[in-house]
Amino acid sequence: MTIDKKPLKQSKVNATAVAKLAGVSKWTVSRAFTPGAYVAPETKDKILSIAAELGYRPNLLARSLTKKNTHIIAIAIDELKNPHSMRILDAATKSLQSRGYLAMVLNITAGENYQSVIEMADQLQVDGILFMANLLSNDLLDIAHTVHSVPLIQICRNSEQARDIEIINIDGFEAGREIGQLLLEQGYQRFGYMKGPDMPSSHLLRMDGYQHQLRLHQHELDLMLTAGKYERKTAYRLMKNYLEVTSPDKRVDALFCENDILAIGTMEALYEADALNSIAIVGFDGIEEGDSPVWNLTTYDQQSEILVNEAISRLTKGPKGDESQWRKGRLLLRGSHIKK
């Protein structure tokens, strides 16, 4: 009778075993795997070679806990169906990984699980919080500042002045002003704005800059549409209803949508009504979908990757960049701002 012998499970190699073969201390092995720590080049090469041969990998989490830092940054985000959210999440995780950090994603979309996510953030140890969501709650702010005393940086939107929060954001007022000027130059007379969540305009300042530029030329907003959230279908329904109740001669000439998802939903309704290009549309964010030949969406690119890198550099105690390099986005002129 043949008995199949199962291979014995190999015990996990530790730093002590590597140190013994390399003829160094366990602490030298640890330093060889620590970015920025000095170890003589020949010694480091020897340690890494032996570690590779033995299949040794340091337990970064256990080691960081002993040093009271985890090299983990929490990313608080919502609106994950929004392509722009995914764009900045992609940029953030890549930037963290390039610096030797891990990302812990907290989906804080409002709903039944919101409180449990906040409680989880309270229990976990992180070195900082990158806040990318629409509304910074007092619960999360207290966890960052009061409970754990870790830095929190808010990105892509502003916050109430009373809060002591570092903000990395473009000049939304200037962006809105540029869009207003673009539409005025086309000779339009009636102007609209579609916003997402019904929050104070100071969180973004896009609408403020837009209205300011219109008023400089003796124009006011003729239409304000509030979607309530950044969702394509919601924008589609909102514009569809507007088209149904408003005769063509009474409609606005141009509509600035607070982000690209709202703009695309709006253009879908126009397309369905065989009225595409009857209203000039401008979006905001510069998502890839807007570059489709179907929409040809004129938009404002926040250059989110630059904002993300600046925020993460600060969270990981890196250098601060020149504000002029990240405070300004760029207008992407395609074709949707031209009414036909």
Pairing relation of β-strands 299-301 and 330-332?
antiparallel
- CATH superfamily, domain at 69-168: Response regulator (3.40.50.2300)
Least confident of 43-52, 56-65, 283-292: 56-65
Selection from 331, 287, 295, 317 nearest residue 90 by Cα:
287
- What is the C-alpha separation between 263 and 276, in angstroms, rounded? 12
Sequence-ordered list of residues with C-beta below 8 angstroms from that of 229, at least 6 positions apart, any chain: 79, 196, 197
Other Cβ atoms less than 10 A from the Cβ of 181: the count is 16
Spatial strand order in the sheet of 166-168: 102-107, 72-77, 128-131, 152-155, 166-168
Q: Work out the pLDDT band at 71, boundaries 50, 70, 90.
A: confident
Report whether 229 contacts 307 (CB < 8 A).
no
Selection from 92, 110, 73 nearest residue 316 by Cα:
73
What pLDDT shows up at residue 172? 94
pTM over cut 0.85: no
Report whether 277 contacts 64 (CB < 8 A).
no
Q: Give tens-digit pLDDT for 131-169.
A: 887 766 666 666 666 655 778 888 988 765 545 678 999
The Cα-based distances of 340 to 174, 194, 278, 335 in angstroms read: 27, 21, 6, 10
- What is the C-alpha separation between 324 and 316, in angstroms, rounded? 21
- What is the C-alpha separation between 148 and 317, in angstroms, rounded? 17
The Cα-based distances of 49 to 14, 39, 41, 55, 189 in angstroms read: 15, 14, 12, 10, 71
What pLDDT shows up at residue 157? 81
Please compute the mean of the pLDDT values over residues 274-292 and round it to a whole number. 96
3 has pLDDT over 80: no
- Where do the domains of the chain lie? 13-50, 69-168, 172-303+323-332
Selection from 84, 69, 74 nearest residue 307 by Cα:
84
- What is the C-alpha separation between 41 and 49, in angstroms, rounded? 12
The token duo for 31 is 């330093």
Query: What is the residue whose two structure tokens read 């207290």?
Result: 142
Q: Work out the pLDDT band at 8, boundaries 50, 70, 90.
A: very low
CATH class name, domain 172-303+323-332: alpha beta
- What is the C-alpha separation between 74 and 69, in angstroms, rounded? 13
What pLDDT shows up at residue 118? 61
Shared fold status for 69-168 and 172-303+323-332: yes
265 has pLDDT over 50: yes
The token duo for 228 is 């309530």
Beta strands in 207-338 (DSSP E): 221-226, 254-257, 280-282, 299-301, 330-332
Other Cβ atoms less than 10 A from the Cβ of 198: the count is 9
- Torsion angles phi and psi, residue 167, rounded to 5: -115, 130
121 has pLDDT over 90: no
- What is the C-alpha separation between 55 and 34, in angstroms, rounded? 17
Sequence-ordered list of residues with C-beta below 8 angstroms from that of 182, at least 6 positions apart, any chain: 282, 298, 331, 333, 337
